[in-house]
Amino acid sequence: MQSQNPGQIVILYSWTALSGSSGSSVALGITDDRGRAMQAGEESLGSGQAIVVIIDAVRPAMAPHTLAPCYIRTGVGWVGRCTAVGEVSWARFFAPGDPGDRAGPVDPGRIGG
C-alpha cells in the first residue's frame, strides 16, 4: 500500500464473486487498487465459477465494543457481470455506508470513475 498523508482516508476495495446456484461466495479478497479487484473478479466470471462480482470501496476501522479491526463501506461500489459476447460489464452504484458509521460516506469524487 502507498504511504498516506496524516489525516487522509485510506480507501481499499473489497470484492466478492457470487455463484449462481446458491448465491454463495466462490472467491473474495481485498486490495488497495480497484483495477486489481476488477481483474480478480473478472477471472471468477470468466471461469464460470461466478455469475456476479460485487466490489465495495471500504475504509479500515475498528469495531465498536471489541476494537477488532474491520472495514466500513463508503457507499460506492461496482457490480460486474458477463455480457452476451463474453466481456465483463461494470456498473457503479451508490448505497448508504454501514449502519453506525458516524463519519458517513466518503466523498465519491475521491474514488474515481
Which residues, other chains included, contact 95 with Cβ-Cβ below 8 Å and sequence gap of 6+?
A: 73, 75, 77
pTM, two decimal places: 0.77
Query: Taking the CA atoms of the chain, what radius of gyration do you get in angstroms?
Result: 15
For residues 80 and 42, the answer to whether their CB atoms sit within 8 Å is yes
Amino acid at 99: P
Short-list 4, 88, 7, CA closest to 44? 88
For residues 29 and 37, the answer to whether their CB atoms sit within 8 Å is yes
3-state secondary structure of 43: helix
61-112 pLDDT per residue, tens: 999 999 999 999 999 999 999 999 989 999 999 987 555 554 444 444 433 3
Q: What is the pLDDT of residue 80?
A: 97
Structural domain boundaries of the chain? 12-100
**Mean pLDDT of the 43-69 span:** 94
